[in-house]
Amino acid sequence: MKVTVKLFASLRKDRFAVDDFDYQEGVTVGHILASLNISEEEAAIIFINARHGGPDSPLKEGDLLAIFPPVGGG
Amino acid sequence: MDKILRIDMGAEGGPKMQVESLGEYAGLGGRAMTSSVVAKEVPPFCHPLGGENKLVIAPGLLSGTGAAMSGRLSVGCKSPLTGGIKEANSGGQPAQVLARLGYGAIILEGKPQGDDLYKVFINKDGVKIEADNSLKMMTNYDLVSKMKGEYGDKIACISIGPAGEMKMQSASIACTDPEQRPSRHAGRGGTGAVMGAKGVKVIVLDDTGCKARPPKDLQKFRAANKIFVEGLSRHPVTGQALPAYGTNVLTNILNEAGAYPTCNFKVGQFAGAGKISGETIAELETKRGAGPTHACHRGCVIRCSGIYNDKDGNFLSKQPEYETVWAHGGHCGIDDPDAIAMLDFLDDTYGLDTIETGVAIGVAMQAGVVSYGDAQAAINLVKEIGKGTPLGRILGSGAAVTGKVFGVEKVPVVKGQAMPAYDPRAVQGIGVTYATSPMGADHTAGYSIATNILKSGGFVDPLKPEGQVALSRNLQVATAAIDSTGMCLFIAFAILDQPDTFQSLLDLLNSFYGLELTADSVSDLGKKVLRIERDFNSRAGFTKEDDRLPRFFYTDPVLPHNVTFMVKDEELDSLFDW
């Protein structure tokens, strides 16, 4: 199934900004983090279709996964 | 910092100054100082531009010391924009310099009898005030350049541009950075108009010959500062993300969260967000020979500021902050970073609040005055404000007035002040802060984004009403206390997550003043400041009905989440019951 993955800020270094991937049914955010060599600590903020998720969150066909390192401002 | 400089601009025969002891204001700094003076000395029903209002300028409790991050300057008055009490604070050099010169506050009061425009010069030898009508309608950048010519390049300036002289409700007060750029502003609430009404164009500060303020216990103070700085460097937000991308790193995250108000709060995502994101702009700045890492005052170790050059490599503006990029960007459907940097520069040099100005332009776009996405038209509108044309004066009066003049129903303001860059329907906690802060809609007053979106200090689901009042309450209390220390609010990311960094902040205060403050006493200070401010507003005629969002946030759901603001009125009314 197809999932779009977006990376931001320092996570883009040596990786990518946005890409589509084919995953097997039942894939979780944690699996995708491991495949991209991103630690759970680095992936501080995770959105699936604009809603907060975590490493255990499951994904389904067509989902948009956005991953941010710890960031702040204001 | 044991004296107050009071200047009566309305005295017979011209301005009369007086240096007095701190008296009943001893032990106060920053926001606690400005709000205490305003609440005690300004009649709540006075006209903000009249002789009874006062402009209070105060460094924080730790400003002028060797403590890192201690360079915030508080400016207080009755706000011409909200009609309530106002504290707007700014980075830049003036807080450190004013504190080293020994002043706990400058109070401008009275009503000038003529049309003369004054400059004030303060150094270790004393205070000089003189009329200088050659400064009339000068922009902030030109003004500071002239002051450098007159007083040398060791100065720090607090000034107004043409917007302040025209007494516009969105006029800011500019503070210079270490390289004498008037690029840091006490932006919100029209404080620049009050300085203009007092007839003061610029306060020039020179601390040559003054030393850092001495702590009671130097050894403990140095040890605390070391732990404090180490904690800020260790935390990924203050140590890595803010120096690398600045505050505008938030564009992508708020957009991905569906909480990025687009085209006057119509939807929560902007197709052009990537083009104006912190990642894109940091890369552009580096490519053009400047960069995203710069300290707005000496002693800042986070360095979230930056410098934005034009395509030819010449200075265009400082790195626009997230809320500026939003107000002039997504809110107006504009995705051109060069245009946004130009708007930032124009706001700074005319002396305008970037949030109020950008939101007013977006409201005008909704009315069809110009089109969404038309960057050149937005630049022209800000130039109209600088010139003071009738259209410029409408926009310079802020979003609420602009909405009324052009017959716009959906105007995002609370207590007359424009909302910044976070949709209160998709981040319910920030809606609570917008509604209840004594300042009007102000994200910094209780930055729930930290916990609702960034997962700093825990996590409260942004899309549900539960837990938001408690979250906003705790943040508003903590913020009022931090705003009184002179510390930059961005230390909050590290002190919320790291107990040892929080303790080092207490140790800095305790070793400097010989106190024994605990977390509870800091919280008590924050509550005291908020009580003073709420009481002023209540005496100025504000009621609980003023602690509400505009109606459309309750009736019009926003995409992609399709939510309205759901926190109940009774809950909002309980925020200050601690």
Residue B127 in contact with partner chain A when CB distance is under 8 A: no
Assigned domain for A73 exists? no
pLDDT of res. B489: 96
Whether the pLDDT of residue A74 is over 90: the answer is: no
Q: Are strands A64-68 and A2-7 parallel, antiparallel or unpaired?
A: parallel
Q: What was the pLDDT predicted at B401?
A: 98
Residue B501 CA to residue B433 CA, distance in Å, equals 26
**CA B447 to chain CA centroid, nearest Å:** 13
Q: Is residue A31 part of a domain?
A: yes
- Helices B337-350, B140-151: axis angle to 10 degrees equals 60
| Residue B14, φ and ψ in degrees, nearest 5 | 115, 170
In Å, how far is B249's CA from the nearest CA of chain A?
7
> If you average pLDDT over every residue of chain B, what do you get?
98
Provide, as residue numbers in chain B, all residues whose Cβ is less than 8 Å from the Cβ of A51. 463, 561
Give domain status of residue A64, yes or no: yes
Q: From CA B343, how far away is CA A52, in angstroms rounded?
A: 33
What's the CA gap between B20 and B522, in Å, rounded? 27
Shortest CA gap B462–chain A (Å): 9
Interchain pair B241, A9: CB under 8 A? yes
Strands B200-205 and B118-123: parallel
Residue-wise pLDDT for B400-431, tens only, equals: 999 999 999 999 999 999 999 999 999 999 99
User: Does some domain include residue A23?
Assistant: yes
Q: How many CA atoms lie within 13 A of B345 on its CB side?
A: 18
Query: Which structural domain, as residue segments, surrounds residue A33?
Result: 2-68
Phi, psi of B224 (to 5 degrees): -65, -40
Binary contact (A74, B279; C-beta < 8 A):
no
Give the domain CATH number at A49: 3.10.20.30
pLDDT of residue A73: 87
- Chain A residues within 8 A of B455 when measuring between CB atoms: 44-45, 52
Segment B299-323 shows an average pLDDT of: 97
H or E stretch at B201? strand B200-205
B window 517-546, beta carbon within 8 A of A: none
Within a domain: residue A26? yes
pLDDT tens digits for range B13-27 = 999 999 999 999 999
Q: Are B82 and B353 in contact (CB under 8 A)?
A: no
What's the rounded mean pLDDT across residues B242-260? 97
Which residues in chain A have Cβ-Cβ distances shorter than 8 Å to B461?
52
CA distance A51 to chain B (A): 6
Please state the length of chain B.
578
The answer to whether residue A7 sits within a structural domain is yes
Distance from CA of A1 to the nearest CA of B (A): 22
Contact B250 A73 (CB under 8 A): yes
**Interface contact B454-A66, CB threshold 8 A:** no
Q: What percent of chain A has pLDDT over 70?
A: 100
β-sheet bridge partners, residue B418:
B413
What is the reported pLDDT for B172?
Answer: 98
Indicate the burial class of B456 (C-beta count within 10 angstroms; 0-12, 13-18, 19 or more). Answer: buried
Q: Does B306 touch chain A (CB under 8 A)?
A: no
B250–chain A nearest CA distance, Å:
7
Interface size between A and B, measured as CB pairs under 8 A: 94
Q: Over pLDDT 90: what percentage of chain B?
A: 99
Counting the structural domains of chain A, the total is 1
CB contact under 8 A, B256 and A51: no
Is B240 within 8 Å of A10 when comparing Cβ atoms? yes
Domains of chain B, earliest start first: 3-205 (3.60.9.10), 245-423 (1.10.569.10)
Mean pLDDT, to the nearest integer, of B251-260?
98
Residue in B453, B212, B317 with CA at minimum distance from that of residue A73:
B453
CA angle B432, B434, B440 (to 5 degrees): 140
Q: What residues of B are in contact with residue A17 (Cβ under 8 Å)?
A: 274, 279
> By three-state DSSP, how is residue B77 classified?
strand
What local confidence, expressed as pLDDT, does residue B1 receive? 87
| pLDDT tens-digit readout, B111-163 | 999 999 999 999 999 999 999 999 999 999 999 999 999 999 999 999 999 99
- Judge whether B304 is closer than 8 Å to chain A, CB to CB: yes
- What does the pLDDT read at residue A36? 97
Q: Are B372 and B361 in contact (CB under 8 A)?
A: no
Cβ–Cβ gap A47/B256 under 8 Å: yes
The residue length of chain A stands at 74
* Chain segment B446-495, per-residue pLDDT in tens: 999 999 999 998 999 999 999 999 999 999 999 999 999 999 999 999 99
% of chain B residues with pLDDT over 70: 100
Express each pLDDT in A8-26 by its tens digit.
999 999 999 999 999 999 9
Helix (H, G, I), strand (E, B) or coil at B427: coil
The arithmetic mean of pLDDT across residues B516-540, rounded, is: 97
Kindly state the tokens that stand for A8.
């931001």
